[in-house]
């Protein structure tokens, strides 16, 4: 059978019958380990990979030849950007507490939802499309709470479940909840504040939501419990969270060992570090996913390893903040489980792997630390294992048909060397040509199903600018927007001439 025209394949749908995808390179997972096939093909039947090899001689409804490309398992993003990223505003504008990233106590008392319900729903849909553009097939969404009244709402997660189903993205959903926060007192000093009943109410709503959506949309949508940063959670909230997760067999994601402010607050409240505190409470387990571990002590890491905790490694966002995991290679050697998360814009897992590789070699002080393949494994197998899903993050007969196809003939990335090294050192997800989830074509050449990305980009920009305009009211001292986020160079007045 000769190749069928790839462009005719309908976005958002499964091709009818059993079909094959060919390419110059295919990653295949065998019982003896991960291998590369040259001039291989993947046969897909409904939602599963049926066969991987050189030339399938069974019946096929269609065969698509991707040519000079790499077919591999889609990425599993454990801290997947799911809003219009506001952390990018803070990269060149420091310190964060003066830039609207810590609420003044007067604002905290009247904090409100800075986005409408429609805007909250839209930004998740838009972010999900961006994940698909980057070859991400499984995502655990994360978003900022700074522009929220408190935690995330069930309503926006109902909308997120619909968006995931419409676009064809595999997701683990759970609104973030918390029983506390950190506010600035009138002198500009950070103080933790707690509202335990509010945290319990939000947890109850999150559990109810998870019960309703777990394993829905044909298995595309699953539940998770997502208590916000550890310093905003009380012991009782975390105990209830872990008990519910055990009962319902859900993953739990909790940010900890990620920053100095957290370290100081947890030390003040509990007399130790967050991972040690949780271990003392008996709450560290293999269902726990813990971004970012950049300030983890040796003792913290030993406890992670002993309890099977997975670190969601997000090197791009960490590096932008001047912090680094110490180190990817060292955690692996200690037996700490590692997956990857994007957690910033662009949610580019390929760039994320590239920064991770470079940051690790700088942290290790040697050029042979952790290969491109080790980061590729963390972004696929590592993430799937954190979710206890051996049918994801791998490409083998019986695995879910969750695939990403990358251009190996890109004009900007030449010469091509080994395909995995070419991808990681090329350092851009823009070479992603197709993303297939559950056997459906969810993204092809920059287009997704059920969303006009050009119009959505315009809408996203307008929505984001509306949010920026409201930064002064929740920023300490209420400076003007131009003072909070000054331009990189002074703006030249529009009414004055440029002199030679």
Interacting residues with Zn ion (CB under 5 A): 79, 291, 343
Residues near 328 by Cβ (< 8 Å), separated by ≥ 6? 313, 315, 338, 356, 359, 360, 363, 369, 370, 374, 375, 378
Q: Which ranges of 58-143 does DSSP label H, i.e. alpha helix?
A: 87-90, 105-108, 117-133
Calpha distance 381→396 (Å, rounded) = 12
Q: Report, in Å, the least distance between residue 324 CB and Zn ion.
A: 15
- The DSSP annotation for 334-347 comes to HT-EEEE---SSS-
DSSP 3-state assignment of 410?
coil
**Cα 312 to Cα 74, 256, 302, 315, 344, distances in angstroms:** 17, 10, 16, 10, 13
Burial 31-57 (b: 16+ CB within 10 A, else e): eeebeebeebbbbbbebbbbbbeeebe
The CB-of-79 to Zn ion minimum distance in angstroms stands at: 4
4 vs 323, beta carbon nearer Zn ion:
323
Name the minimum Å distance from CB 260 to Zn ion: 15
Among residues 363, 361, 365, 389, the alpha carbon closest in space to that of 375 is found at 361
CB of 358 to Zn ion, least distance (A): 20
Q: What is the DSSP letter of 3?
A: P
What tokens appear for 23 in the block? Answer: 């390419």
* Least distance between Zn ion and beta carbon 427 (Å): 21
291 or 347: CB nearest Zn ion: 291
**Any idea what DSSP says for residue 379?**
I
Q: What minimum distance in Å lies between the beta carbon of 84 and Zn ion?
A: 16
Candidates 193, 188, 192, 189; CA nearest to 476 is 188
Supply the minimum distance, in Å, between the C-beta of residue 291 and Zn ion. Answer: 4
Q: Which is nearer to Zn ion, 79 or 438 (CB)?
A: 79
Question: Positive or negative CA dihedral for 92, 98, 102, 103?
Answer: negative
Q: Which is nearer to Zn ion, 254 or 336 (CB)?
A: 254
For Zn ion, the closer CB: 41 or 343: 343
Residue with tokens 């607050």: 265
Closest distance of CB 262 from Zn ion, Å: 12
Choose between 355 and 441: whose C-beta lies nearer to Zn ion. 355
How far, in Å, CA of 324 to CA of 317, rounded? 9
- CB of 87: closest distance to Zn ion in angstroms? 9
Closer CB to Zn ion, 220 or 256, in the complex: 256
- What is the rounded distance in angstroms from the CA atom of residue 387 to the CA atom of residue 473? 40
Task: Please say which residue, 288 or 408, places its beta carbon nearer to Zn ion.
Answer: 288
Give how far Cα 47 sits from Cα of 148, 397, 441, Å: 37, 12, 11
Q: Which is nearer to Zn ion, 79 or 119 (CB)?
A: 79
């Amino acid at each position: 059978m000769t190749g069928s025209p790839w462009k005719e394949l309908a976005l958002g749908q499964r091709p009818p019958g059993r079909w094959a995808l060919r390419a110059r390179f295919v990653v295949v997972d065998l019982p003896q380990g991960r291998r590369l096939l040259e001039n291989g093909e993947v046969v897909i039947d409904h939602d599963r990979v049926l066969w991987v090899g050189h030339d399938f001689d069974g019946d096929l409804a269609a065969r698509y030849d991707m040519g000079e490309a790499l077919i591999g398992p889609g990425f599993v993003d454990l801290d997947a950007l799911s809003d219009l990223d506001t952390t990018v505003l803070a990269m060149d504008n420091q310190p964060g507490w003066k830039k609207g990233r810590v609420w003044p106590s007067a604002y905290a008392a009247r904090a409100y939802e800075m986005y409408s319900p429609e805007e909250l729903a839209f930004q998740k849909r838009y972010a999900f499309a961006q994940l698909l553009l980057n070859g991400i097939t499984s995502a655990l969404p994360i978003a900022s709470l700074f522009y929220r009244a408190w935690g995330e709402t069930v309503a926006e997660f109902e909308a997120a479940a619909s968006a995931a189903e419409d676009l064809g993205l595999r997701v683990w959903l759970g609104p973030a909840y918390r029983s506390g926060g950190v506010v600035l007192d009138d002198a500009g000093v950070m103080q933790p504040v707690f509202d335990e009943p509010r945290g319990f109410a939000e947890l109850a709503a999150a559990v109810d939501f998870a019960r309703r959506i777990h394993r829905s949309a044909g298995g595309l949508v699953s539940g998770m419990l997502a208590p916000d940063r550890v310093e905003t959670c009380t012991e009782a909230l975390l105990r209830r969270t872990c008990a519910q997760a055990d009962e319902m067999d859900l993953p739990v994601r909790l940010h900890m060992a990620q920053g100095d402010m957290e370290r100081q607050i947890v030390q003040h409240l509990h007399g130790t570090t967050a991972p040690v505190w949780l271990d003392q409470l008996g709450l560290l387990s293999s269902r726990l996913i813990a971004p970012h571990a950049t300030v983890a002590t040796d003792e913290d890491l030993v406890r992670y390893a002993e309890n099977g905790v997975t670190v969601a490694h997000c090197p791009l966002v960490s590096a932008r903040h001047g912090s680094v995991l110490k180190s990817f290679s060292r955690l692996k050697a200690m037996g700490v489980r590692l997956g990857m998360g994007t957690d910033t814009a662009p949610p580019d897992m390929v760039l994320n792997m590239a920064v991770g590789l470079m940051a690790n070699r700088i942290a290790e002080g040697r050029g042979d630390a952790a290969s491109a393949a080790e980061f590729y494994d963390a972004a696929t197998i590592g993430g799937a294992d954190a979710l206890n899903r051996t049918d994801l993050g791998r490409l083998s007969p019986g695995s879910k048909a969750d695939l990403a196809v990358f251009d190996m003939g890109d004009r900007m990335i030449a010469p091509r060397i080994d395909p995995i090294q070419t991808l990681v050192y090329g350092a851009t997800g823009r070479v992603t040509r197709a993303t297939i989830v559950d056997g459906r074509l969810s993204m092809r050449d920059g287009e997704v199903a059920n969303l006009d990305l050009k119009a959505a980009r315009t809408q996203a920009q307008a929505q984001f600018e509306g949010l920026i305009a409201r930064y002064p009211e929740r920023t300490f001292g209420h400076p003007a927007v131009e003072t909070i986020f000054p331009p990189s160079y002074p703006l030249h007045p529009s009414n004055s001439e440029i002199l030679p």
